[in-house]
Amino acid sequence: MSLPEMTIPEIRSFEQIVALAREKVNATKKRRAALISPCDPGMLKACEKATRKGFIDPIVIGDLANFETTNTETQANLKPSQLIDAATPAKAVILAAQMAARGQIDLIVKGRSQTAEMLASLLQHEAQFVAKGKTMSHVAVMKPERYKKLLMLTDGAVVIAPDLQTKMNLIQNLIKVSKSIGIPNPRIAVLAAVEVVYPTMPVTTEAAILSKMAERGQIKEAFIDGPLSLDVAVDMFAAHSKGVKTSQVAGQADAFLAPNIETANGIYKAMTLYGHCEMAGVVVGGRVPVTMGSRSDNEQSKFNSIALGVLAG
């Protein structure tokens, strides 16, 4: 079977993403980064590296005694420009969110705090973090060992079960992140279990609607197709074998829009454990980007996320 060539963007590695972040801060300024409860060794070392490279100006918000202890024990040698004591991670998040609303910081970096609790704090009215009409969502960027380009994924951390309107908002956030890393007009696969529309499977109907909206220009700056199963989205042989032969997305997706948080989170964890992936992730849609690396993420992933946050802001 003769298969078409995959279209590969110029930006296809984390080395290039880091280089773009360096260019951005050199052309503008270092990002004022609020480090929330920075008592995680990997996060501290990633932040020290980002500081040393001139990406961020770190501001520590949290239990200062714990920070000093961890900073000394891990020999991270992070030298923050500002120290703000906060008794609990929740209080630290609220303070950072309010600073973002006042334009005093450009980036929030999660330390040793629970993701669910941090998100809940950011979404509180008093935090003033999400403007009216905006949707906050997580975008992961992955470089699988066997895929020739970067893959983006949403939403495995924030939005639990998006309806059609929310999916439209997730796509806009995804396009914004894609453009920020140098991939204009991303090829977005709206994932489902099958490649055809079944009225009894609402996910397939919504995927088809999103695809048609993009075709008619209601959603701009992206190629969108769905419903597509994961194999059809990234494997040209699978796509053509299943009769999906005229798609701009099938077999060469740059990004996945998952139907729910369970699907996206499962893909992210599977890629992390078995895909030999470099990873990064950022929450967008709030006043400033938020990096929310898992405590199990390695130091390089946390540094990659900071670079992504610099670009997404």
Question: The domain that contains 85 carries what CATH number?
Answer: 3.40.50.10950
pLDDT (tens, 9 = 90+) of the chain, 313 residues, equals 678 889 999 999 999 999 999 999 999 999 999 999 888 888 999 999 999 999 999 999 999 999 999 989 888 889 999 999 998 989 999 999 999 999 999 999 998 778 888 888 888 877 789 988 899 999 999 999 999 999 999 999 999 999 999 999 999 999 999 999 999 999 999 999 999 999 999 999 999 999 999 999 999 999 999 999 999 999 999 999 999 999 999 999 999 999 999 999 999 999 988 888 999 999 999 999 999 877 678 899 999 999 999 999 9
Tell me, yes or no, whether 3 lies in a domain.
no
Tell me, yes or no, whether 1 lies in a domain.
no
Same domain, 277 and 150: yes
Q: Cis bond leading into 155, ω under 30°?
A: yes
Same domain, 55 and 22: yes
Kindly report the length of the chain: 313
Same domain, 145 and 242: yes
Q: Determine the angle formed by the axes of helices 299-312 and 41-52, rounding to 10 degrees.
A: 50
Q: How many domains does the chain have?
A: 2
Is the separation of the CB atoms in 248 and 187 below 8 Å? yes
Structure tokens that stand for 298 in this block: 């390695």
Angle at 296 between CA 293 and CA 301, to 5 degrees: 50
Domain enclosing residue 311, as ranges: 10-131+286-313
